[in-house]
Amino acid sequence: MKAVSIILLYFIATVLSHDHHDDSSSPARGCGYRAPDVAAMEDMAHRDERRLEKSTSPRGLFRCDACGSGSRFRTIDTYIHVIQMMNRTGHLPDAAIEENIKVTNELLWSTGFQLKVVSTNRITNDVWYISDWDSDEEMDIKRQLKQGGLDTLNIYYKAAFVDGDRVCGYANLAEDAVYWPEDDGVVVDTLCATNKTILAHEFGHWMNLLHTFDGGCSPGDLVDDTNGQAMPMKYLSEECPDPLPDTCPDAGFDPLDNIMDYAPNGCGDIFTPGQVQRMHDAWRKIRRA
């Protein structure tokens, strides 16, 4: 188990029991990223400062003068690995995968990043399908399938288990990938491939974004323009609450419209300029360094 930050729970409730049996009647929920503790977040903040001190390029959004071909977007080579069971549990049609990427690219439009699918690879393996994060079986998957370096995104569609709980997906932070490059990538549960924001949310972690409520009211999520948020809203319905909760004094309403929160899709799906900047910093100083 990584001590530092790998990220947890997108919609809070985890549904399946701990026995790792696939049960498509019980939709998986949650993002399995393990949030950093306060000491780890302080280290992250210091590393942020050091990275930016060394930076010679101007900061700002859409720094794409180096993108080439006049494009305002940075395209990220993306390898897709779809794992299913012998009995076709977890089977995802091509159209579902294409739709997931299309919807995600629409959500990422404001960030200046776009995913460019290089290949889609299909594997049938029962043990791999139900493997837990950090298990030997999952490391086998990544050892055999993972493509490229830190600037290449690998997406694994499979059952997403973290410590025995089934979640919608999980990812490692960019800065953790420096220490554990063999573990780098994003997992999306096959039951959640139609969830509008899950892949964009996990991509956010992959680009070093924390949950808006990680770090509570202070130090917060290390982004200046997301309102403070003490805790995620308890996931009770698809309805966005009215009025919005306000869990930190003098910080404004909780940012339930943010992709890095767990709120229902109906609250909105945005990244703030500060988050976009943090993603570009991660790209420039970590993934493309």
Which stretches of the chain bind Zn ion, using CB under 5 A?
A: 7, 31, 33
Task: Look up residue 76 and give its amino acid.
Answer: I
Give the span between the Cα atoms of 197 and 202, in whole angstroms. Answer: 9
Helices (H), 146-237: 174-179, 198-206
88 exposed, middle or buried (CB, 10 Å; 0-12, 13-18, 19+)? exposed
Give the span between the Cα atoms of 93 and 95, in whole angstroms. Answer: 5
For the bound state, the minimum distance from the C-beta of residue 31 to Zn ion, rounded and expressed in Å, comes to 3
DSSP, residue by residue, 129-143: HTPBTTSHHHHHHHH
- Asked if residues 40 and 61 have their Cβ atoms less than 8 Å apart, the reply is no
For the bound state, the minimum distance from the C-beta of residue 154 to Zn ion, rounded and expressed in Å, comes to 18
Q: Residue written as tokens 């159209």?
A: 95
Query: How many Cβ atoms are within 10 Å of 289's Cβ, its own excluded?
Result: 12
Helices (H), the chain: 38-54, 94-108, 126-129, 136-145, 174-179, 198-206, 273-282
Nearer to Zn ion, 31 or 103 (CB): 31
Nearer to Zn ion, 31 or 186 (CB): 31
Nearer to Zn ion, 32 or 228 (CB): 32
Of all residues in this chain, which one has the CB nearest to Zn ion in the complex?
31
For the bound state, the minimum distance from the C-beta of residue 260 to Zn ion, rounded and expressed in Å, comes to 7
For the bound state, the minimum distance from the C-beta of residue 59 to Zn ion, rounded and expressed in Å, comes to 25
Nearer to Zn ion, 52 or 231 (CB): 231
For the bound state, the minimum distance from the C-beta of residue 11 to Zn ion, rounded and expressed in Å, comes to 10
For the bound state, the minimum distance from the C-beta of residue 74 to Zn ion, rounded and expressed in Å, comes to 22
Nearer to Zn ion, 33 or 203 (CB): 33
Nearer to Zn ion, 7 or 256 (CB): 7
Nearer to Zn ion, 7 or 276 (CB): 7
For the bound state, the minimum distance from the C-beta of residue 170 to Zn ion, rounded and expressed in Å, comes to 7
For the bound state, the minimum distance from the C-beta of residue 10 to Zn ion, rounded and expressed in Å, comes to 5
Nearer to Zn ion, 131 or 258 (CB): 258
- Asked if residues 63 and 284 have their Cβ atoms less than 8 Å apart, the reply is yes
Strand runs labelled E in the chain: 74-84, 113-124, 153-158, 160-162, 165-167, 169-171, 186-189
- Asked if residues 141 and 187 have their Cβ atoms less than 8 Å apart, the reply is no
